[in-house]
A = this chain, B = another copy of it.
Amino acid sequence: MTLAQQMLTLAHEAKEAARVLANQSSAVKNDVLRAMADGLEREMPALIEENEKDLAATRERDLAPAMVDRLVLDEKRIRAMADGLREVAALPDPVGEVTRMWRRPNGLQVGQVRIPLGVIGIIYESRPNVTADAAGLCLKSGNAVVLRGGSEAIHSNTAIGAVLRRELERYNLPAAAVQVVTTTERAAVLELLKLEEEIDLIIPRGGEGLIRFVSENSRIPVIKHYKGVCHTYVDADADFEMAEKICINAKVQRPGVCNAMETLLIHKDIAETFVPRIAQAMRAEGVEMRGCPITREFAEVKEATDEDWGAEYLDLILAVRVVEDMDEAMDHIARYGSLHTEVIVTRDYRNSQRFLREVNSSVVMINASSRFSDGNQFGLGAEIGISTTKLHSFGPMGLEDLTTRKFVVMGDGQVRE
């Protein structure tokens, strides 16, 4: 069989499995999820042994220590995967929800009902826990999943997949509901991305390079975010103490993630007092500031160049710009932002409402740290990803985002005149 045929067969089996999965009750799906969790804990020694093979292979290559660390499966991480599946079992099932229903003048009852999307393809890197996390969310929402992890985690992913598939079979469900691509050829991804008849949605998870590769080569709809360039705008009327606390948290609490602040915008009326204050606070936290000319009048910081606006540092670096007013701040965000998360700190009612209304990023906040921009923090349950493109979903994505809605119509013999 050619690689193309292999991928087609695998995706086609997933599509058949999806039809079966779509009609399972929540009770059955939850039982399977909990059985999968137990299975992972039971198979812990075998999983660690397979993970050892992946780790051994990295020693022959020159991988960054952070990347190797992400690859490790130990008892704690396997228990965390299992608990993740149990948490998904405890979430409400989105499938079958009637989101609205109404009656037409001719007596037809028309409504919309949530259904699974069908087959979800997940293309990801390094972390083997994604295998269980993504499979769990897809199963709960009634979808089959095709998982294609990185070649560096191939033994770990295959072993986790085998445990999940065994539990599906024990419940007389098709193992093909969780398909793990075991070939490490990159061409396999290209073949998968062509299968628009079999796969309904692709979610890439990883660095910007992977995401661009997937989205440029896919015939299938892709939900993605390239990067998070989050802005905090401190308004003329802000409470300085609150503004400082929010800015420090947004920049420092976990600088390497997409919802950390990358650019700080400050109203010119408060530059003289707020710039020195935040510069001192940032310095104390080890943050390197890069400022516009006005910023540099009030604090000794490096000069920001054009590349700093719109940069995603993922590090203890912060671009700072003093703006004329809120309109200039919003123009800056529209020009350099990534549609991820933007924050205003203000006590002014009118400005808070205008910012909320006029800034159309996927998450817009008043007086809170951008670090809250996350499915778990919002209470959506486990997060399957975040979308900064506007189609289908925009912002953090939970179970509901793995569904669509069909129309249902109940009549008693109506025909059209």
Contact = CB atoms under 8 A, between A and B. Distances in A.
A377 B417 CA distance: 11
Contacts of A412: 242, 367
Contact of A389 (B115, B221, B242, B411): B221
Interface in A208-252: 216, 219, 221, 239, 242, 245-246, 248-250
Interface in A343-359: 356-358
A253 to B, nearest CB: 6
Contact of A414 (B22, B363, B369, B393): B369
A152 to B, nearest CB: 30
Contacts of A408: 356, 363-365
A133 interface: no
B406 A394 contact: yes
Interface string A87-122: 000000000100000101000101000011110000
Contact of A390 (B19, B200, B253, B389): B200
Nearest to A374: B416
A173 interface: no
Interface of chain A: mostly helix, strand, loop or mixed: mixed
B360 A407 contact: no
A64 interface: no
Interface in A15-57: 19, 22-23
Contacts of A157: none
A408 B118 CA distance: 30
A158 interface: no
A65 interface: no
Contacts of A204: none
Interface string A377-411: 11100000000011111111000000011111111
B416 A365 contact: no
A413 B363 contact: no
A314 interface: no
A63 interface: no
Contacts of A127: none
A415 interface: yes
A393 B110 CA distance: 16
Given A358-B23, A390-B118, A416 B239 contact: no
Contacts of A360: 22, 115-116, 118, 406
A377 B117 contact: no
B245 A391 contact: no
B117 A413 contact: no
25 contacts: A22-B358, A23-B357, A96-B357, A117-B391, A200-B389, A200-B391, A221-B221, A245-B413, A360-B406, A361-B406, A362-B406, A362-B407, A365-B410, A366-B411, A367-B414, A368-B409, A368-B410, A368-B414, A369-B414, A372-B409, A373-B407, A373-B409, A394-B406, A395-B405, A395-B407
Instruction: Please name the 10 residue pairs, one residue from A and one from B, whose CB atoms are nearest each other, closest first.
Output: A368-B411, A249-B415, A365-B409, A371-B416, A390-B404, A242-B413, A392-B392, A221-B391, A363-B407, A369-B415
